Amino acid sequence: MNILDTIIAHKRTEVAARKAGTPASALEKQDGFNRKVLSLKEFLLNDARTGIIAEFKRKSPSKGLINGTADVVEVTSAYAKHASGLSVLTDENFFGGSTADLIAARVNQIPILRKDFIVDEYQILEARAMGADVILLIAACLTPEEVKRLATFATQLGLEVLLELHDEEELAHICDETILVGINNRNLKTFKVDIERSLAMARRIPDNRIKIAESGISAVENILLFRNNGFRGFLIGENFMKAADPAKAFEDFVQELKAAKAP
Residues labelled as active-site residues: 55, 57, 115, 164, 184, 214-215
| CA–CA separation, 138 and 194 (whole Å) | 18
pLDDT surpassing 80 at residue 261: no
Residues 2-6 have a mean pLDDT of 87
Q: What gap in Å lies between CA 251 and CA 258, rounded to an integer?
A: 11
pLDDT tens by residue, 166-192: 989 999 999 999 999 999 988 766 667
Q: Which 8-state DSSP code applies to residue 51?
A: -
How crowded is the C-beta side of 186, counted as CA atoms within 13 Å? Answer: 14
Q: What is the mean pLDDT of the chain?
A: 94
Instruction: List Cα–Cα distances, 123 to 15, 97, 157, 174, in angstroms.
Output: 7, 15, 12, 20
User: Is residue 131 over pLDDT 80?
Assistant: yes
Mean pLDDT of 217-228: 94
Q: Angle at which helices 246-261 and 72-80 pack, to 10 degrees? A: 10
Q: Domain 3-261 classified CATH 3.40.30.110?
A: no
Least trusted range by pLDDT, from 14-18, 91-95, 161-165, 188-192: 188-192
Q: Tell whether the torsion through CA atoms of 64, 67, 71 and 72 is positive or negative.
A: negative
| Structure confidence by residue, pLDDT tens digits, 194-219 | 888 889 999 999 999 999 999 889 99
Asked if residue 213 lies in contact with residue 183, where contact means CB atoms within 8 angstroms, the answer is yes
Locate all alpha helices (DSSP H) within the chain, ordered by sequence.
3-21, 24-27, 40-44, 72-80, 99-105, 121-130, 144-156, 195-202, 220-228, 238-241, 246-261
pLDDT in tens, 56-65: 999 988 888 9
Collect all residues with Cβ–Cβ distance below 8 Å to 16 and sequence separation of at least 6.
none
Q: Is the Cβ–Cβ distance between 186 and 215 less than 8 Å?
A: yes
Q: What is the pTM of this model?
A: 0.95
Question: Residue 129: how many CB atoms within 10 A of its CB?
Answer: 23
Cα–Cα distance, 95 to 14 (Å, whole number) = 14
Q: What is the mean pLDDT of residues 52-81?
A: 94
Over 90: is that where the pLDDT of 3 sits? Answer: no
